[in-house]
Amino acid sequence: MQEVHLNINGVDVIAEKGCTILEAAAENGIKIPTLCHEDRLEPYGACRICVVEVEDARGLLPACTTVATDGMVIKTETDELKRIRSTIIELLLSDHPLDCMTCESAGSCELQDLAYEYGVKDVYFVGEKHEYEKFVDGPLIERDYNKCILCGRCVRICREVQGVGVYDLMNRGFDAVPGTPFDKPLEESSCEFCGQCISTCPTGAIITLPSAGKGREWEMEKTKTTCTYCGVGCQLYLNVKDGKVVKVTSDYALGEPNHGNLCVKGRFGYDFIHHPDRLTKPLIKKGGRFNEATWEEALDVVSKKLLDVKEKNGPDSIFVLTSARCTNEENYLLQKLTRAVIGTNNVDHCARL
Ligand code: SF4
Ligand code: SF4
Ligand code: SF4
């Protein structure tokens, strides 16, 4: 690694050559506040919350888009920076509904967190406020642009990460707002309902509808697990309240293989978990009717029937198809059972077909 040597807040630090001031600070445990930055996205420099003082530089520099160079002397927390950041937050709140009491994102809202951190209580900029209609995009997504802070994260994640590009920023100045082609609902666009835009939105402007009203952020216990829908093995959190999964989220920090990204199945396909029709016990068909059985009874029936077929028609009359919904270990065991116990190489995997 090629290094650069910097001084941040009076401390000498080392960072990787080519990284931004924001990354250099984060690498050394120094937090610089941001609103438009996200680890999954290219630097953008829209919100200006991350401005820092750099010795001998003309004016303040945005930490998220400024490359850290050797010998830089940087200050990230001064009274002047605090005043500027507070003013930016006040400006954002001046056109904001401020309904944190009922907002789905309260507790996980980056704007709310910053207003708290910088002690912004009153809004001094009084003027026109937007009153946009909410978009209800089918059963999964709701967009309320009254809470939008124009960070562009939804636009960028859809384009840069998902490769779809449903949104763009429409209009100019005070009327700038994210939008879909011809302002149509997401179902009438090329949207894949991956929910990446929900996951990156720093406020309550884009929310997950199925979990709306089902619990506040701080009431949910997060259990890290692996998505069961396919062999990619995305890492996610089951958000559980009162013993029930009410939402699925992920996080860049969970790392490989998905770095916080999920598809429509992983993010929204969890209602089967508590569905009353879900099979939780084996069923054995007798006299045209399914009857509940124990696992021992069910496995006994399956092994007897497989042995019958093998005896009558030989092992190659049996074909075993395994599933991407199983773990690697389960798939390994099933092919071992097929080859070593049943005695055939007739084994395949749904992901290969
Ligand atoms: S988006 Fe954030 S700041 Fe705005 S109402 Fe919701 S919780 Fe409050
Ligand atoms: S759900 Fe996915 S594809 Fe649809 S707009 Fe959001 S990021 Fe784009
Ligand atoms: S909808 Fe959310 S992510 Fe998109 S620009 Fe507005 S605040 Fe940012």
CATH number, residue 227: 2.20.25.90
Protein residue with least CA distance to atom 4, ligand 2: 191
Over 70: is that where the pLDDT of 256 sits? yes
- Point out the ligand nearest to the CA of residue 110: 1
Query: What percentage of the chain's residues is helix, strand, coil (to nearest 5)?
Result: 30, 20, 50
Identify whether residues 11 and 61 lie together within a single domain.
yes
Q: What's the pLDDT at 352?
A: 78
Q: What's the pLDDT at 235?
A: 97
165 within domain boundaries: no
Residues 6+ apart with CB under 8 A from 123: 90, 93, 94, 98
| pTM tops 0.85 | yes
- Locate 183 and state its tokens: 């302002």
**Which residue among 153, 155, 160, 196 is best mutated to probe the pocket of ligand 3, counting the most ligand atoms within 8 A of its Cβ?**
153
Identify whether residues 259 and 303 lie together within a single domain.
no
146 within domain boundaries: no
Over 70: is that where the pLDDT of 198 sits? yes
Identify whether residues 304 and 245 lie together within a single domain.
no
142 within domain boundaries: no
99 within domain boundaries: no
Q: Is 80 exposed, middle or buried (0-12, 13-18, 19+ CB in 10 A)?
A: exposed
Identify whether residues 31 and 66 lie together within a single domain.
yes
Report the DSSP pairing between strands 3-8 and 73-75.
Answer: parallel
Peptide bond preceding 62: is omega within 30 degrees of 0, i.e. cis?
no
Identify the residue whose tokens are 């919100």: 47
199 within domain boundaries: no
**Where is the domain boundary, 77, 98, 119?**
77
**Where is the domain boundary, 278, 307, 328?**
278
180 CA distance to ligand 3 middle (Å): 13
One-letter identity of residue 239 = N
pLDDT tens per residue, range 63-73: 999 999 999 99
286 within domain boundaries: no
Of the pLDDT bands very low, low, confident and very high (cuts 50, 70, 90), residue 54 is very high
320 CA distance to ligand 1 middle (Å): 52
Residue 342: half-sphere exposure toward Cβ, Cα within 13 Å: 27
Rg (CA), the chain: 27
Residues with CB under 6 A from ligand 2: 157-158, 162, 164, 166-167, 186, 191-197
144 CA distance to ligand 3 middle (Å): 9
How many domains does the structure of the chain reveal?
Answer: 3
58 within domain boundaries: yes
Identify whether residues 321 and 265 lie together within a single domain.
no
Which pairs with CB-CB distance under 8 Å and at least 24 residues apart come from 167-171? 167/197
Report the DSSP pairing between strands 61-62 and 51-54.
Answer: antiparallel
Residues with CB under 6 A from ligand 3: 148-154, 178, 200-203, 205-206
Could you tell me what percent of the chain has a pLDDT over 70?
Answer: 100
Question: What domain range includes position 268?
Answer: 219-278
53 within domain boundaries: yes
Q: Does the beta carbon of 106 sit less than 6 angstroms from any atom of ligand 1?
A: yes
Q: What's the pLDDT at 353?
A: 67
Protein residue with least CA distance to atom 8, ligand 3: 151
pLDDT tens per residue, range 265-305: 999 999 999 999 999 999 999 999 999 999 999 999 999 99
19 CA distance to ligand 2 middle (Å): 29
Domain holding 42: CATH number?
Answer: 3.10.20.740
Burial letters 338-351, b for 16+ CB under 10 A, else e: beeebebeebebee
Over 70: is that where the pLDDT of 329 sits? yes
DSSP assignment of 44-66: ---S-TTEEEETT-SS-EETTTS
Q: Does the beta carbon of 103 sit less than 6 angstroms from any atom of ligand 1?
A: yes
Beta bridge partners of 286: 289
Of the pLDDT bands very low, low, confident and very high (cuts 50, 70, 90), residue 351 is confident
pLDDT tens per residue, range 204-255: 999 999 999 999 999 999 999 999 888 888 999 999 999 999 999 999 999 9
